[in-house]
Amino acid sequence: MSATRLPTARGQSEADLTTSSPEQAEFSHVTVLREAVTAAVARAAADRAEPVIVDCTLGGGGHAEAVLAALPTAQVIGLDRDLAAIAAASARLGHFGPRFRAVHTPFGRLADVLRDLHIPDVTAIIADLGVSSHQFDTAERGFSLRHEGPLDMRMDTSTGLTLAERLAAVSLEDLADILYEYGDIRRSIGTARIVLQSVQEGADTTAKLAQRLAARLPRDRNVHPATLVFQALRIWVNGELDELQALLRDAPGLLQAGGVLAVISFHSGEDRLVKQMMRAQAPKKYGEFTRGKPQAAGDEEVQENPRARSARLRLLWRSRPDAPLGETGEDEDS
Ligand SMILES: C[S@@+](CC[C@H](N)C(=O)[O-])C[C@H]1O[C@@H](n2cnc3c(N)ncnc32)[C@H](O)[C@@H]1O
C-alpha cells in the first residue's frame, strides 16, 4: 500500500459530482478547465505538423474533443480504465475518424501503451484525475453513498477485487491505515471498526453502509458523514495513488521537446504529489523542464460547475534545446 497520506483540505465530494438520477443512461460529465488545458496543449503543438496527444483520463471525452477540435492535424490517444467511459467517448469522438483512438488501460501503463503503439514520444499528456459524474450517477457501480448499489467501487469492472471482497479480507489495523492515509480520518481505528461491523451486520449495499456510518459517525453540517470514508475506500480499491505515482514517474520522459504534461487534481494530497514531482523535475527556473503557474477555475466556471471549485491544474513543460532558456514555461514556487 502506498504510504502517501491524503489530506482533504480540498476534495471531490459526491454532491458536487452527482448530476442526475441513478436511472440515467447517458454519459454525463462536465469538463473542468477545458480552455486552460486546450491552450497549453495548443502552445505545445504550435510548431508540430502532426502533434500527438495522450488524454490519460478520457471519461466522457471532453478534453479530448476540445483538443481534436482546436488542432485539426492532431492525433489523440485516449486512455481510460473504465469500459463505460471508453464506449461513451468512442461514440462521441468517432466522427474524428483515425485522429482519435481509445485504449482500455490504467494510465500507470502509459509507457507500455506507447511502446506497443511504436510511439517514442508525444506532444502533450493530459490527466484529469478522479472519478467522473457518470461513475457516481450509475448506482450499480457502487461509488455512491446516496444510491442503493453493490459494494464494488472498481473503475475497471473487468478486473480486481470489489470493495466487498476487500472488506471481507482486510484486517482492522490495515483498514484503519487506509482510512487515515486516504481519507485523513483521525479516529481511524474506531471508524474502521464501525465499517467492518456494519458489513458483518448485513450492510451489503452502498446506501446501507452509508446509513449505518451516518448513524455512528460525528455529524458535519455540510457533508454526509460517510463522505471521507467512501473517498478513502475508493482510492484503496482503485490503487489511485500508486497509479498517479507511476504516471508522474514516466510522463516527463515521454514528452517531446516543447511538450507539456497537464495534470488536474481535486484533492490536496494528489496535488501535493503532482507538485513534488514537478518540482523534482524542474528544480531551477531554466533547465530541461519548467513548471507553469498552478491554475484554478474562475468564478464563472465554479458557478456553472461546483466540482471545478477544488480543481488545480499544474503544467510541466519540456524545454526546446534550440529555444532560449526558460521560453517554454513560467516558474512558480507555490
Ligand atoms: C474526471 S474523469 C475525466 C473526464 C474527462 N476529462 C472529460 O472531460 O470528460 C476521470 C476519468 O479517469 C478515469 N481514470 C481514473 N483513474 C484512472 C487510471 N488510473 N487509469 C485510467 N483511467 C483512469 C476514470 O475512469 C474516469 O473516467
* Ranges 8-17, 75-84, 195-204, 208-217: which has the least confidence: 8-17
Kind plus residue range of the DSSP H or E element containing 314: strand 312-318
Which comes out higher in pLDDT, residue 111 or 47?
111
Burial class for 120, CB neighbours closer than 10 Å (0-12, 13-18, 19+): exposed
60 Cβ inside 6 Å of ligand 1: yes
**What is the distance between the alpha carbons of residues 293 and 66, in angstroms, rounded to a whole number?**
22
Q: Where are the domains of the chain?
A: 34-133+241-318
Distance 207 CA to ligand 1 centre (A): 24
Which comes out higher in pLDDT, residue 151 or 134?
151
**What is the distance between the alpha carbons of residues 143 and 133, in angstroms, rounded to a whole number?**
10
Closest CA to ligand 1's atom 26: 59
Distance 129 CA to ligand 1 centre (A): 6
Closest CA to ligand 1's atom 18: 106
Whether the pLDDT of residue 47 is over 60: the answer is yes
Tell me, what's the pLDDT at 329? Answer: 46
Average pLDDT value for residue range 54-65: 97
Tell me, what's the pLDDT at 79? Answer: 98
Is the separation of the CB atoms in 254 and 110 below 8 Å? yes
Tell me, what's the pLDDT at 184? Answer: 86
- 228-252 residue pLDDT tens: 999 999 999 999 999 999 999 999 9
Tell me, what's the pLDDT at 109? Answer: 98
Which fold does the domain 34-133+241-318 belong to in CATH? Answer: Rossmann fold (3.40.50)
- 166-193 residue pLDDT tens: 999 999 999 999 999 988 898 899 999 9
pLDDT bucket at 320, cuts 50 / 70 / 90: confident
**What is the distance between the alpha carbons of residues 273 and 257, in angstroms, rounded to a whole number?**
24
CA 309 from centroid of its chain's CA atoms: 15
Kind plus residue range of the DSSP H or E element containing 229: helix 227-237
**What's phi and psi for 55, nearest 5 deg?**
-100, 105
Whether the pLDDT of residue 64 is over 50: the answer is yes
Tell me, what's the pLDDT at 22? Answer: 40
291 Cβ inside 6 Å of ligand 1: no
Whether the pLDDT of residue 65 is over 70: the answer is yes
Average pLDDT value for residue range 259-267: 94
Q: Residue 7 is which amino acid?
A: P
Tell me, what's the pLDDT at 300? Answer: 95
Grid coordinates representing 173? 489495523
Q: What is the DSSP letter of 57?
A: -
> Percentage of the chain surpassing pLDDT 90?
74
* Ranges 3-12, 37-46, 279-288: which has the least confidence: 3-12
Distance 271 CA to ligand 1 centre (A): 16
